[in-house]
Amino acid sequence: MNDKKTTHFGFQEVPVEEKAERVAEVFHSVAAKYDVMNDLMSAGIHRLWKRFTIEASGVRAGHKVLDIAGGTGDLSYQFAKLVGSNGQVVLADINASMLGVGRDRLTDRGIAGNINFAQCDAQFLPFPDNTFDCITIAFGLRNVTDKDMALRSMLRVLKPGGRLLVLEFSKPQSEILSKIYDTYSFKVLPFMGKLVTNDAESYRYLAESIRMHPDQQTLKEMMDNAGFVRTEFHNMTGGIVALHKGIKP
């Protein structure tokens, strides 16, 4: 009998201890062209999803913000402007290549002084209890091996009354949209990945990982079970993307 624990990597079953390394390989591969591909894949709509997230965050001057899976720094850039010189933003990512791209981009855009960088795993956040006013994780939770552990880790480092925002691909609300989205994800995305990054496989994984991610209601229940209160979600683009919000009691 095989007792070895497995988890999903896209549609594959892999040993739990291998998933993080495999995800890392995907993002090492796509880091340099990540922003270009985001704009192409979403026709620029990802910027609107992120703007909505910023507006829902309630972040203001003096706040401490943790941007998990912050990658190339889109959210961190906006947060750094909002928190001002008395606030602090931590851009965290498990992937060194993505973190390097994010650091370079933010430096080029003149952001310094109130931003720090941390290479860390969302399941084991290396920060004291009750540190942050707000935590965001945008398009990163589906890549985490143990999502329940990560949600509990985020709850721990939030201040009481602080909020978590999870921006993630989710389940389209209509059958027609779902079919169109499937065709796009499994036919067009890998082709674009091959064209732009010479890497179809990484974008096939991204499409598969979206399908394996919990739907809107399931993720809300996971946040409830982790200890968040007043949890809710807002569908965008017909449910292709959802923003989940929860408060630490």
Q: What is the pLDDT of residue 37?
A: 67
d(CA 30, CA 18): 19
**Span 114-118, average pLDDT:** 97
d(CA 68, CA 89): 11
End-to-end CA distance of the chain: 43
Write the pLDDT tens digit of every residue in 199-214: 788 788 888 999 999 9
Percent of residues in the chain assigned helix, strand, coil, to nearest 5: 50, 25, 25
Pick the CATH number of 26-173+205-247 from 3.40.50.150, 3.30.300.90, 3.40.50.450, 3.40.50.970: 3.40.50.150
Percent of the chain with pLDDT over 70: 93
Region of poorest pLDDT, from 37-41, 113-117, 152-156, 238-242: 37-41
Is the pLDDT confidence value at 165 over 70? yes
Q: What is the pLDDT of residue 29?
A: 64
User: Coil, strand or helix: which one is 167?
Assistant: strand
With beta carbons less than 8 A apart as the criterion, state whether 56 and 83 touch: no
d(CA 73, CA 192): 23
Is the pLDDT confidence value at 41 over 90? no
Annotated binding site: 72, 93, 121-122
User: How confident is the prediction for the chain on average, in pLDDT?
Assistant: 90
> What is the DSSP pairing of strand 241-247 with strand 158-169?
antiparallel
Write the pLDDT tens digit of every residue in 227-237: 999 999 999 99
Annotated binding site for S-adenosyl-L-methionine: 72, 93, 121-122
- Which residue in 213, 202, 243 sits closest to 98, CA to CA? 202
Q: Where are the domains of the chain?
A: 26-173+205-247
pTM: 0.89
d(CA 164, CA 156): 11
With beta carbons less than 8 A apart as the criterion, state whether 11 and 213 touch: no
